[in-house]
Amino acid sequence: MATVRQIQNVANLISSIQVLDGTESVFPTWSSRLDDVLGFQNTLDIVKGTLPRPKEASKTEPSATWSVEY
């Protein structure tokens, strides 16, 4: 059986993409799209800086060490 490969021409869709030109009407649309994409990739928390970091071990607490005494 022969495999048919279709090539889609997206050149006609390029004109429908809004250009990020700094106006207040376009930026919220792009910002929303970026939030959606980053959310799908599970990287939005990294970009927003809300990724929880592990607590650093304090110097006053005794560290967990292995005891060699039996």
- pLDDT tens digits, residue range 41-66? 888 888 888 877 777 766 665 555 66
**15-50 confidence digits (pLDDT tens):** 777 777 777 777 888 888 888 888 888 888 888 888
More reliable by pLDDT, 4 or 9:
9
Q: Are 37 and 46 in contact (CB under 8 A)?
A: no
**Average pLDDT score over residue span 2-25:** 72
* Tokens at 50, concatenated: 């809300």
The 3-class SS string of the chain reads: CCCCCCCCCCHHHHCCCCCCCCCCCCHHHHHHHHHHHHHHCCCHHHHHCCCCCCCCCCCCCCCCCCCCCC
pTM score, whole prediction:
0.42
